[in-house]
Structure 1
Amino acid sequence: MSAVLHDGTAVLGRHLRRVRHAPAIVVMTQTMPIVFLLFFGYVFGSALAMPGTEYRAYLVPGLLVATAANGIMTGMFTAAQDSHRGVMDRFRTMPMSRAAVPLGQAAADLLTSAVGMVPLMLVGLAMGWRIEGGALRAVGAFGLLLLFRAATTWVGILLGLVSRSEEAAGQLGSATFILPLLSNAYIPTDGMPGWLRTTAEWNPISAVTTAVRHLFGNAPVPADAAWPVAHPVAGALVWSLVLLAVSAPLAVRRYAATGR
């Protein structure tokens, strides 16, 4: 375990230096939610009537979760880039833990995403969003956001390692943009057709978004929704832990097996 932590810390430092020298993908994934907040909040906000909830207060938690879900794209692109450019082959020749390389990448992504959420929250506060559920519940909301980001990052790392090329990973990563659209991140699901509502409410993003809104005190929990949304904190924890438990071991195994 100490070797994994030592080697993982070294890989973490490498990825943080990489972000500092080539921040384009991080800047893009962190600024787009702010653009969406300004666009949806001011362009669509006046047109969306939501009983008991101001739309911008409803939107900010959804965009925070959408930012967390971007871990799929950043994890996939970074892992594919290192894999297909021979960086991981060089790591495999070194006397270091096989788990350290994906672990270091995941840790670096988690740190940068945690910092990257701050500007979105500040813009949300400037637009009228408030944390109304108390300090402890807010800490729980941030914890869920980071847990979900960790889970999606490991999913992305796994997909990046199995991708056939950087270009394929980039195209597939861009396609993940649609996932928040098929959830309650931007609009409630109760007005959707039955089949689409069911799909949206079983989307992990919907459970995490509802949990974050509930903990921040921004919207009530819908009682007539599917189980993950009707029990959002439990649903968010279950989805995040399942994704993490499946993707992390598979990503480490894939990394260790690729060089054989």
Structure 2
Amino acid sequence: MTTLTPDAPAPQTPASRSSVPRSSALRNGWILTQRELLHWVRQPALPIFGLLFSIMLLLMFGFLFGGAIEVPGGGDYITFLLPGMFTLTMLFGLEGTMLAMSTDAAKGITDRFRSMPIHSSAVALGRSGADMASSILNLAVLLGGGLLIGWRITTDIGSALLAVLLLLWLRFALLWIGIFLGLVFRGPGATVAVQVLIWPIGFLSNVFVAPETMPGWLGAVAEWNPISATATATRQLFGNPTGITSGLLPDAALGMAVGWPLLITLVFLPLSARAYRRLRR
């Protein structure tokens, strides 16, 4: 007499996971987003430190150095600085994204997710969802802090909302760089290298000073920095001084603030997907 046993379920493959309905991918991504948010609730030191660091930079440059810096074209330095600081905060989020992805990959957590019957894009969706939620909170706190120290929005509510959307659009693009780097480079040295490189990229822009106060070649580099494009566009939309009296950015800032993040996303989103598929293969 033979005993019938049920067939074992077929193992999940990348192809079978990618065939999961898109609605399931969004649902899986939302569950993983909640996982990341719960980590921050239970261990709030890291996000709080990141927020305090941004506030410290704002106060330091605004009040310690602001009196010695003149804005080309006129205007108060605080109102010039604030949109740049909002933009720089979007850049600083890149290293947090990379560190989270790198840590999960190194500990085998990402491999465990890959073995589960979830959509192949769920891990990246979860990471991006959590990072965008964190960025919205950080930006809201900085906007409130700016208003407390004298920064003002002098345009209509529609322009101000568009400025906020441009900041979050830049953050969305940069997080794909972080996801890619976190999947490809998982050693602690790589994270430190990215942390070091972020500073020159952020400072080689118009966040703190206008490019026309720099040497000619350096100012040209700063004008083509994606951070400068978003900073200038948000200054225009908030009705703040741009610190620019001539050059490329005054007329093209809005288009560049849309185009640079789009280009970054088109390059690094597919690279992130490929790196995830090739992980530990």
TM-score when normalising by structure 1: 0.94
Match for residue 68 of structure 1? 90
Matches within 5 A, 1:74-113: 74-113=96-135
Report the CA distance between 1:221 and its aligned residue. 7.5
| Counterpart for residue 44 of structure 1 | 65
Contact persistence 1:76–1:169 (CA under 8 A): yes
Partners of 1:254 and 1:52 in 2: CA distance = 47
AA in 2 matched with 1:60: L
Aligned partner of residue 278 in structure 2, secondary structure: helix
C-alpha displacement at 1:220, in angstroms? 4.4
Q: CA deviation at 1:216?
A: 0.2
Mapped pair 1:207 → 2:221: no
Pairwise CA distance, 1:176: 1.0
Do residues 222 (structure 1) and 244 (structure 2) align? yes
Residues 187 and 233 (structure 1), Cα distance of their counterparts in 2 relative to 1, 3 Å cut: same
Paired position in structure 2 for 1:27: 48
**Aligned positions, number:** 259
Spell out, residue by residue over 1:160-187, the C-alpha distance to the aligned partner (whole angstroms, 9 max, x if none).
Answer: 1110413422432343122210000011
The one-letter code matched in structure 2 to 1:96 is: I
Q: Percent identity?
A: 36
Deviation of 1:247 after TM superposition, in Å, equals 1.1
Aligned 8 A contact 2:103 2:186 in 1: no
Out of 14, 19, 26, the position equivalent to 1:5 is: 26
Q: Quick one: structure 1 residues 45 and 35, their matched pair in 2 at CA, closer, same or farther if it must change by over 3 Å?
A: same
| Cα RMSD for the two superposed structures | 1.6
Structure 1 stretches of at least 4 aligned residues deviating more than 6 Å after TM superposition? none
Aligned to 2:176: 154
- The answer for the alignment partner of 2:216 in structure 1 is 194
Q: SS in structure 2 opposite 1:258?
A: coil
Which residue of 253, 260, 268 maps to 1:232?
253
Please give the per-residue CA displacement for 1:170-214, whole angstroms capped at 9, x wherever unaligned. 432343122210000011010111111111111100000000000
Unaligned runs of 5+ in 1: none
Structure with larger Rg = 2
CA distance in 1, matches of 2:218, 2:209: 13
Amino acid at match of 2:219: R
Aligned AA (2:224) = W
Counterpart of 2:36 (choices 3, 8, 15) is: 15
How far is 1:130 from its partner?
0.3
Structure 2's unaligned 5+ residue stretches are 1-21
Alignment equivalent of 1:59, drawn from 66, 78, 81: 81
2: CA distance between counterparts of 1:237 and 1:28?
30
**Alpha-carbon distance change, 223 to 57 in structure 1, aligned in 2, over 3 angstroms:** closer
CA distance in 2, matches of 1:3, 1:259: 25
Which residue number in structure 2 is paired with residue 141 of structure 1?
A: 163
Q: CA contact under 8 A between 1:73 and 1:174: conserved in structure 2?
A: no
Q: 1:247 aligns with which of 268, 271, 274?
A: 268
Q: 1:150 deviation in Å?
A: 0.7
Q: Is contact 1:183-1:203 (8 Å) kept?
A: yes
Q: Against the structure 1 CA distance between its residues 199 and 220, is the aligned structure 2 distance closer, same or farther, given a 3 Å change threshold?
A: closer
